[in-house]
Amino acid sequence: MMHPITTDHGEFIAQFTSRGLARLQFPGTPAKPLDNASPLPKPWLRHTRAAISSILNGKTPKVLPPLDLSVGTKFQQQLWRALLRIPGGRTRSYGELAHALRRPQAARAIGQACGANPIPVIVPCHRVLAGGGRLGGFSGGLDWKQKLLEIEGAPFKEPQ
C-alpha cells in the first residue's frame, strides 16, 4: 500500500513492509509498488511524516520509523547504515566513505549503493559528495540534492 506524505516541497510516497519503512519516493516520481508491502502500525506513518517534515525544515528528526533496508546487498546495507551516522549539515565524499568502510577502492561502488538507496532523504545519501565538494549524482535528481543540502546548510560546490 502506498502512503502519500504531503509537504511544502510536494507529495512523497512511503511504502512499508512488516519490518518498517521500505521505500520513499520523491514527489513527481512514478509510483513503484512493493511486492511485499503490508499494513503498517499507525505510529510508523506518523514517525515517517514527522521525520520528513523535520528534515525538510533543516532539523534532525527526533524519531525515525523502523527502516527495512533488506532489499540491499550486505555492502549496500552497511553503507546505508553508515549514511545514517552523517550528521545534518555535514557531508562526506564517496572516497571518505570507502575508507571508513575499509574498502578504499570502492568509491564507485559507494556511488552505486547511494543510487540504490530505497529510502532517500531519511537515509541521507544526499550528504555524499564527489571529490572537491561537487554534487555528483543523486537518485532524486541534482535539484533535490542541492535543495536538501541547502536546507541543511551543508557546504557543496555549485554545478557549473
Catalytic residues: 125
| Three cell numbers, residue 111 | 556511488
Nearest in space to 65 (alpha carbons), one of 15, 119, 14, 21:
21
For the beta sheet containing 20-25, the strands, ordered from the edge strand earlier in sequence to the opposite edge, are 2-7, 10-17, 20-25
User: 46 Cβ partners below 8 Å, 6+ apart?
Assistant: none
Name the packing angle between helices 74-83 and 107-115 (round to 10°). Answer: 80
Cα dihedral 154/117/99/65 (nearest 10): 70
DSSP code of residue 29: S
